[in-house]
Structure 1
Amino acid sequence: MTTEYTGGGDPARSLALLWRTREKSGRKGGPDLSVDRVVRAAVELTDADGLAALSMRRVAQRLGVGTMSLYTYVPGKAELLDLMLDTVCGEPARPAEVPGGWRGRLEFVAREKWALYQRHPWMLYVATSRPPLGPNVAGAYEYELAAVEGIGLTDLEMDSVVTLVAGFVHGAARGAVDAAQVAQRTGVSDEQWWWAHAPYLAKVMDPSRYPLSARVGAAAGEEYGAASAPQQAFEFGLQRVLDGVEALVTRRTAAS
C-alpha cells in the first residue's frame, strides 16, 4: 500500500482550515457543504475503501456534488488529509481521572490509540513526521504528556516516553491490521494457512539444525494456531514498554 504524507499542504491554508479561522461559504444556490461535511465524507470513504481510494473526485461522488465544488472548501488532497487526521484524533476519550497512577493513564492512552487504529486502519499508512498542527492533534499530545507530568521525568523524557508508547502502538496495530487484511483478501484464515503449511514444513525443517526455532515455533503455533498473534503481541509488548518506563521513573525518583 502506498504511504501518504501529512504536512504537504500550503501552511497558511492548512492552519486556517485546521483551526477553522476561515471557512468559505458555498455559493448561493450551490451545494449544502461545509469543511466538516467534506472531511466526514472523506473519512467514511477511506474507512470503507482504503487510503488508495482517497481523491477529491471520489469524495465529491460520495457527497453527490461536482469535484470543483469541493475546492471552495478544501484546496486539495494534501490539506484534506491533514484535516482527516486531525479530525479522527479528536475521537479518543480523554477523561480527567484514570485509575492506576501514571502507568494506568499511559496504558489508557495506548489502548485508545489501538482502538482508533482499528476504526481507521488507513491512519497506519499515513506518515506523520510532519504532523497536522491542528487542535485535536495538539489536544492529544497535551493529554498524553499530562499522563506522565509530575512523576520525576524531564520535559525531553516526557516527550520521549509518549513517543515511545505511540510508536509501539503504531507498530503493533500495523501488524494486526495487516494480518486481518491478508485473511480478508485471500479468504484464508491464519489458522488455515498455518495448518496447510505445517505438514510440509515438518518434512523439510531439520530440528537438529534449527532446535530453538523448532521448539519455540511449535509452541507458538500450537498456542496461536497461526504464525503470530497480534492481540497477544500488543498486550505483552505494552506491559514491557510500561515496565521500561517504570524502571526509568524509579531511577529518577531514587536519584532525587
Structure 2
Amino acid sequence: MRHHPTRSANSKQANDGSTVAESKRRRKTVLAQLGVKASKTSVDEVVKAAIALADEEGLEAVSMRRVADKLGISAMSLYTYVPGKAELIELMVDSIAAETPLEPHVGTVRARLENIARQQWAEFGRHPWLLQVDSSRPPLGPGVSDRYEWQLAAVEGLGLSDLEMDQTLTLLVSVVAGPARAARAAQRTNESSGMSDRGWWEINAPLLEKVMDGGRFPLSGRVGQNVGELYNGASASTLSFEFGLARVLDGIEQLIASK
C-alpha cells in the first residue's frame, strides 16, 4: 500500500463518537496543511461537485473552472477554498475512502480479505476515475488513514510480518485494479463504437471461423468457443476478477498456513 499512518486505532471503535470527532479534527488539520480554507460545508460541496463531475466525464474533465461552473461560482472564488487541482484530487480520493464501512472483521481470513477486495471492486465500479489517480503517493487524509488501519486489522495476529501485511493489501488492490481497468476500457469502447462486445463477436465470428482452421488450431478452436459462451453470461473483466481473486486468496491462505 506504501502508506504508513502513525495513528493506531481499534477497528471496533471506528464508528464510535470519539473516533468520529478525532477524524473531523484530523480532517481540519489536513485541510489546513493543504492550504484549504477552513469552511467545512463549502469545502465538502466543492469535493462533492468534483466527484460528480469525475463520475460523469472522467478525471480528465475535472478542472477548477469546470467545478466552479458546476457550483455556480467563479473559478477565482473556488481557489479560496482549494488551492489547486492536485489538492482537490487528494480531497476527492480521501472522501471516497471515508465512505468505506469500517465494521469489525468477522469470519475466516479468506472472508475478511474477500470482503476488502469486493469493496474495492465496487468502489472502482462507482468511481472508475480512481484508476487514473497515481497511487504511489496516496493522500494522508483521515479517510485513507482510517481505511488502511481497518484493512490491516484483517491480517493482524496471523504471523505475518509488517511487510507481508502491507504487501497482502497491495496484492489485493492489484488483483482488483487490473480487471477494473479492463472493464472501464471495454465500456468506453462500447460507447465510442456504439456496439457491445457480444455484437462485435457476432459480426466477426464468421471471419474468425475461416481464419482459425479447426484442424490447425484445435485447442484455440475448442477453448475459444467455450470461453465465448461463458462470456455471453458475464463480462470478461468480471470473470477475470473472480478467477484472480480466488487464486490470490488461495496463495495468501497457504502463506499464512506456513507460518
Q: 1:120 aligns with which of 111, 114, 127?
A: 127
Deviations 1:76-120 (A, max 9, x none): 11111111111111112221143x221111110001101111110
In 2: Cα distance, 1:192 partner to 1:169 partner: 26
- More divergent stretch after superposition (136-145 vs 241-250): 136-145
Q: 1:193 aligns with which of 193, 200, 206?
A: 200
Alignment-derived partner of residue 102 in structure 2: 94
Q: 1:46 aligns with which of 41, 44, 54?
A: 54
Distance 1:148 1:175, change over 3 A: same
Deviations 1:132-160 (A, max 9, x none): 11111111211111111111111111111
Q: 2:64 aligns with which of 56, 62, 68?
A: 56
Is 2:189 the partner of 1:178?
Answer: no
Deviations 1:9-61 (A, max 9, x none): xxxxxx987723475257xxxxx972111111100111111112110000000
Unmatched 5+ stretches in structure 2: 1-25
Q: 2:44 aligns with which of 36, 49, 63?
A: 36
Q: 1:159 aligns with which of 161, 166, 181?
A: 166
Q: Is the 8 A contact 1:190 1:225 kept in 2?
A: no
Q: Once the 2 structures are TM-superposed, how far is the Cα of residue 211 of structure 1 from its aligned partner?
A: 2.9
Equivalenced residues, count: 232
TM-score (norm 2): 0.83
Is 2:28 the partner of 1:20?
Answer: no
Distance 1:17 1:203, change over 3 A: farther
What fraction of aligned residue pairs are identical, expressed as a percent?
A: 53
Partner AA of 1:150 in structure 2? G
Unmatched 5+ stretches in structure 1: 1-14, 27-31
Partner AA of 1:58 in structure 2? R
Pairing 1:235-250 to 2, within 5 Å after superposition: 235-250=242-257
Distance 1:193 1:251, change over 3 A: same
Deviations 1:180-219 (A, max 9, x none): 2222232211111111111001111233433322221111
In 2: Cα distance, 1:33 partner to 1:227 partner: 42
Q: Once the 2 structures are TM-superposed, how far is the Cα of residue 233 of structure 1 from its aligned partner?
A: 1.7
In 1: Cα distance, 2:70 partner to 2:237 partner: 33
Q: Secondary structure at the match of 2:104?
A: coil
In 2: Cα distance, 1:222 partner to 1:97 partner: 37
Is 2:109 the partner of 1:107?
Answer: no
Q: Secondary structure at the match of 2:115?
A: helix
In 2: Cα distance, 1:76 partner to 1:234 partner: 35
Alignment-derived partner of residue 143 in structure 1: 150
Q: Is the 8 A contact 2:32 2:38 kept in 1?
A: no
In 2: Cα distance, 1:217 partner to 1:227 partner: 15
